[in-house]
Each structure stands twice: as C-alpha cells, then as structure tokens.
Structure 1
C-alpha cells in the first residue's frame, strides 16, 4: 500500500509540476500577445519624444492605391461629413483607414477630416439609425485594421496630433505633397494661391504676380496628373485678378485685351491653346477667348473672318444649351455676360466684313462644329484622367 501511495503522490507531484509549467508558458504567451496588441493600439513613446512627422511612401502596391475619385467616393460612403459626423458603413471605413494608415496620399487628406470633426457626433441631438460614432467604431473594429499579411496596423504619428493642430498640419501636408506633384494636392494649392477674393464693393481683388505664378505652377502640375482645370489655369495666366470676372456676381467679364502686363507672348499663346482645348469640349469661355484672340491678334494671328466664325460658334453653343434645357456648357449665372460680350463682338465684325468674308466665316463654322468633342463641358471639366497614383 505504501508503495502504491508513494507512486500516486509521485504522479500527482509530476502533474502539478507539468500544470505549473504550462501555466507559466501560457502566461508568458498571453502577456506577450497582450503586450503586442497594446504596442499596436497605443505605441509607447518615451516621455518628451517628439512625434515623427515624416511623410513616408505608401506600403501599398502601386496598382492598389486609391485614385483621386476612388478615395473621395470611399470616404463619402464610409463617413457622413456634413450632417451627423458619424460612421455610415464600418466595413468601408475599415478599408478607407487601411489606406490612410499605410500612407495612401489620396486617402490621408480625408482622414484628417474625420479626426477633426467626428467629435461633433456626440453634440448632435438626433442620431440616424444604423450610424455610430467614430469612437465606437474604433472600439469595435480596431482589430480589423491590419495589413495584407494580417499584421495590426500602427497609427502614423501624423494622425496623433492634438485636435487643435490637425488642420494646421493637414494644410502643411497639402503643401508638402503639392510640391511633390501629387495632383489632388496641386489642385488644392492652385486655388489657395490664385484667388484673392473681393473688396467691399464686390469687385474681384488683384493678385500679385508671385501669387498667380504659384497658382499657375500648381494647376499645371494638376493637369499633368489628369485634372481638366484649364479654365482655372488660363484665368490665372491671363488676368491680374486670377478670374474671368471682375466682380463677385459675375456680371462684368474680363476682356482679353486686359491681360496681365507681365504675361509673355509665349504664355499668351499657350493660354489660347488651352482655351481652344476647352472650346473643343463646348466651353463658352473657351470659345469666347479664341474669338477674342483672332479679333485682336493676341495669341493668334489677327483674322477677322476666323474671329467671326468662332463668334458664330458661340451662338451655336448657346442654342445647344437652350435645346438641352440645362447649362451643360457652363454655369448659368456666368453665361449672360459671355453672350452679351459676344453680341458686341459680332455687331462690330458684321459692320467690318463684306459678303464674301461672311460666307467664308459660315463655311469655317461648319468645320468648327465638327471639332466639338463633347457638348457637356461641365462633365469634362470635372473628369480626372485615369493615372496610377504615386506611392
């Protein structure tokens, strides 16, 4: 019996030893896993260690980066930015944040909007069914923010700033990425530099040449990256106000004869080349600028027959707008001054031209009509050509 009892005690001791050993191992594993999770969720930095504000290349394969419109549409589908400041679609927001946290530049800008505004959800009295706060989203979906290998993603330091600093750094980010020729950010900076607002009387203020030159630089980069912002570009190239209009109500149009004194002949010609490209997509202002170019010999040879033909094309474009019952060719408030000015030009030319010249203009008009690629200028203006984004 004693030997059996000793054997039993020995077995029990061994079992206890094994269990204790396993417990230690399990504890170590759990501690490590939990610690790893904490590292990814809340990276611990030594006190007074500055945040890393470096802008890194994206870790996402180039062919998987979000295009400009894709980033915007995914953001709008995932988060309500304008009414409830809430998460609309958690799965889409997971996808969106994965891109932002992996340095997908076209997503990063919109992620700053979420960080800056999501707190408004709590102060909004009405909650839309099916929506949740960003804070609740992060508590429920944080573990889904992983890379393609399943490794938890770390929030970049540039998204850890205090709320009061977020917008300032976002603006700094726009400048940095614009200078690196990311087209979305170039377009933003083009507008920042090239529009100088209005005075108390509602007149468009003049910009400095340095402001306009920076706007031209950024809009040109944006065009290289697929934007069709030629209308914005030539306004900065041609006029000191950086605008086609002299006033806030768009009642007084700038004439080509009022072009910037510092504008070179080469850039004057280039601006008319861009205007003609716009005209081929039914831009009213584009057609008008080409009309003026031939009338005054600015950026084109002086040719009153061609000027008259282009002026007649603008009349034809006006009829197309009326037939369509909408303002496909431009914004409705901006059209009347264009048509009025064109009428003045036509009257002047009709008094100058003889019957043979007028017939030649009509013949040319027939050819010009065939060169219109698209009668929906607004659609073309908003399009962005399909380029793979840069990492």
Structure 2
C-alpha cells in the first residue's frame, strides 16, 4: 500500500511540474510575441496572415541607403556587440524609417535588431543607453514618412521565416547584399572528416556563380570567390580547410568553357592589380600553361617575380593584415617551384626580358592592400 501511495505521489508531483513548465513556456511565448509587436497591439501568431509580397520602397530613390551606409547607421544607433541597447535614438529613428518603408539595405539589419532586443531588452543598460522597448515608447511618434503619416512595421518582420524570405526572394531580384549572401549557400561545399574540401556539383557552382555575378554588378568585389567557383570543383582555391594545399590551374573543372576560363583569368588579373597574391599566382599559371592566356614563359616568369615583390612589400610595410597571411605559405612554395622550373629553361636574354616586363607590372599595381579593396563595395544607386 505504501508503495502505491509513493507512486501516486510521484505522479502528482510530475503533473504539477509539467503544468508549471507549460505555464512558464506560455509566459515566455507571450513575452517574446509582445516584444515583436512594437505598437502594443498583441496579435496571436495563428491570426496573422503573412503577406510575403515584396513591395518597392516608398522612399525617394536618391534617399535610399547604400549597403555600407545602412550597416554604419545601424551600428551607430544600436549596440549589438556588448550591451544590446540604443546608443543614438535619432539615428535609430532614421534607420527604422528606412526599414519600415522597405529600404532593402536596411531591412536585414532591422531583423538583427529585433533578434537582439528580444533576448536582451530586460538587461540593465549602461549610462546613456536605453532598451529598445523604451526607445519605441519615447520615439514612436517620430516614426513617420516624409508627409508626416505614421509608419507601420511590416508584419513580415514578426515571422521566424523572415530571414529566409529575405535571402531567397531579394537575392532572386538581384539586390546585391542578398545575392552575395545567397551565393554562400551553394558553394564551397564543406569538408570531410579529414578536413579535405568536398567536390561540388556543377549545378551548385553555377548557381553560386550566378549570385556572385549579381553581387558584382551591384558593386561587390567578390572576384576571389567567383573565380574559385568558376575554376575548381571544390569551389575554393584550396583543397583543405587549413589552407595547406592549393589547387593548381591545371586542375580546373572539366565542364569549364574556354571563354569562361579566359574570363576567370581576366578577373584574376584585376585582383592582381590590387595586389592579390592569389590573383598574381593564377595569371602566372595562365601564361605558364597557356590556360586563359597565350603560352608565354617570359611573362610567366615576370609574374612569378611579381609575387616575390609582393611578398617583399608585405615584409617592408609590416602590413600582414593586408593579405590573408595564413593562406600564403602554399602560394609561396608553389611559386618557387614555378620559378625554379623556368630558370632552368630561360636563357639570359629571356630572363632580362622578364625583368623588364616586371617593371611594367609593378607600375600597374593600384593598391597594396588587397583585402581593403576586396571588402569595398562600389557606390551603386540602390534599387527601390
């Protein structure tokens, strides 16, 4: 009998525990749902009919935010690194006005803001900061369009599918920020248990290339990613995740058309003119093997010497951050192999011709900080 009583008692306690957990979950759910509704008009998720139509921005085109401008405005308005609070209310007012009026470059950062304010709105703020909820309470009347009409947060921001929605739909409409991000979903294709890059399917590479081209048309300088996916089945310049083994140009993927091979070397040369070590190497190989360029061992040797000169510039300037230094050792090693091979077959006159051509190449370098140029986005007029 005592044994049965103990079982009944345990069951009762378990039932109470389950009820308590359900209550807590309900409260948390109510809290987060309430936070997402910035006008305090609580709408239960099951009653929300999501409108996934992509609307053009109502902001005049000449006032739309550039990609970098939207990011900087968000960073200056809201801290999502340490304290998760509002830093500059006036900047945040401007930022939200753009996001709520379908400024495509502001929308992804506004989604980030909602994510952080959900998680940290109750935390104590540093002096001079306020919570996002407090900001909305104090500045809601300033969230108006140019005619003074109150703005309304698009309901789509309340959906957990918002991020996927943005990435997919906006990328397909060729908004460059989203096209660049979407390209990552297709290639490279990960690594196996040994850290070796997996081979991508051609369809994956072509889809990623399509999005990267859209990003480039919108001002991105993502040529390094682009040519890696044009040239190699791994979708990367390296065979492994630790950058120990580099792909050689002779290993280009079999389905690559000759005109695309030439185009990839054109892009590599553009990178090289901004001091890309990978770009310099690919042009060296192109002349050495006659792939995407005419076969010319004098020019190949000159380009290999340019790689040495670039290495010297790194050491002189002490500016290792201008390149991805962990990726360079296999490049130097492979470049030395090429040089040694060429020095055995070039006569003194050919070597002198290569030195003369090297002087021309040095003068063509536009920027000795490749990563700075790679990360820049040209000032293209945003689409509404």
- TM-score class, shorter-chain normalisation, is 0.7 to 0.9
Runs of 4+ off more than 6 Å: none
Query: Could you say which residue in structure 2 is the equivalent of 1:174?
Result: 167
CA distance in 2 between partners of 1:77 and 1:63 (Å): 22
1:127 Cα deviation after fit:
3.2
1:89 Cα deviation after fit:
1.4
Query: Could you say which residue in structure 2 is the equivalent of 1:71?
Result: 70
User: Pick from 319, 325, 344: which aligns with 1:326?
Assistant: 319
User: Pick from 129, 142, 145: which aligns with 1:144?
Assistant: 142
User: Pick from 356, 366, 374: which aligns with 2:359?
Assistant: 366
Contact 1:282 1:329 in 2 (8 A): no
Alpha-carbon deviations, 1:23-70, whole Å to 9, x = none? xxxxxxxxxxxxxxxx9874989x946132211000000000000000
Alpha-carbon deviations, 1:150-189, whole Å to 9, x = none? 111011121233xxx1xx3212211111111111111101
Structure 2: any 5+ residue segments left out of the alignment? Answer: 1-37
Query: Could you say which residue in structure 2 is the equivalent of 1:61?
Result: 60
Query: Could you say which residue in structure 2 is the equivalent of 1:110?
Result: 109
Please state if 1:85 is matched with 2:78.
Answer: no
1:327 Cα deviation after fit:
2.0
- For normalisation by structure 1, the TM-score amounts to 0.85
Task: Describe the SS at the equivalent of 1:136.
Answer: helix
CA distance in 1 between partners of 2:301 and 2:340 (Å): 10
- For normalisation by structure 2, the TM-score amounts to 0.87
Contact 1:293 1:300 in 2 (8 A): yes
1:388 Cα deviation after fit:
1.0
Structure 1: any 5+ residue segments left out of the alignment? Answer: 1-38
1:374 Cα deviation after fit:
1.2
The within-5 A match list for 1:203-222 is 203-222=196-215
1:117 Cα deviation after fit:
2.2
Q: Please identify the structure whose Cα radius of gyration is greater.
A: 1
CA distance in 1 between partners of 2:168 and 2:343 (Å): 50
The within-5 A match list for 1:39-54 is 42=41, 48=47, 50-54=49-53
Please state if 1:238 is matched with 2:231.
Answer: yes
